[in-house]
Amino acid sequence: MYDVVIIGSGCAGLTAAIYAARANLKPLVIDGHEPGGQLSLTTMVENFPGFPDGILGPELIENMRKQAKRFGAEFKAGVVNEADLTKRPFKITAGKDVYETKTLIVAAGASARMLGLENERKLLGYGVSTCATCDGFFFRGKPIAVVGGGDSAMEEANFLTRYASKVYLIHRRSEFRASKIMIDRVRANEKVEIVTPAIVEDILGHGTGAVEGVRLRHPETNAIRDIKLDGVFVAIGHTPNTTAFRGKIETDANGYLIASNGSKTTIPGVFVAGDVQDHRYRQAVTAAGSGCMAALDAEKFLEEHSAESASFESARQSSAAVPAPAN
State the catalytic residues. 131, 134-135
Identified binder of ligand NAP from the candidate list 112, 115, 204, 229, rule CB under 6 A:
115
Identified binder of ligand NAP from the candidate list 151, 202, 212, 308, rule CB under 6 A:
151
Does 197 bind ligand NAP (CB under 6 A)? Our answer is no
Does 148 bind ligand NAP (CB under 6 A)? Our answer is yes
Q: Is the CB of residue 2 less than 8 Å from the CB of residue 26?
A: yes
Kindly report each contact of residues 309-316 with a partner whose C-beta sits within 8 Å and lies 24 or more positions away, as own/partner.
309/3, 309/102, 312/1, 312/88, 312/89, 312/102, 313/1, 316/1
Does 9 bind ligand NAP (CB under 6 A)? Our answer is no
Among 29-37, 38-46, 93-101, 171-179, the segment contacting ligand NAP (CB under 6 A)? 171-179
Residue 6 or 134 having the CB closest to ligand NAP: 134
Dihedral of CA atoms 207, 136, 134, 153 in degrees, nearest 10, equals -90
Residue, CB closest to ligand NAP: 150
The dihedrals phi and psi of 106, each to the nearest 5 degrees, come to -95, 115
Residue 34 or 151 having the CB closest to ligand NAP: 151
CB of 112 to ligand NAP, least distance (A): 9
Q: Is the CB of residue 112 less than 8 Å from the CB of residue 234?
A: yes
Report the DSSP beta bridge partners of residue 61: none
Q: Is the CB of residue 84 less than 8 Å from the CB of residue 99?
A: no
Does 38 bind ligand NAP (CB under 6 A)? Our answer is no
3 CB neighbour count, 10 Å cutoff: 20
Using CB under 6 A as the criterion, which residues of the chain lie in contact with ligand NAP when the complex forms?
Answer: 113, 115, 148-153, 155, 172-173, 177, 236-237, 254, 279
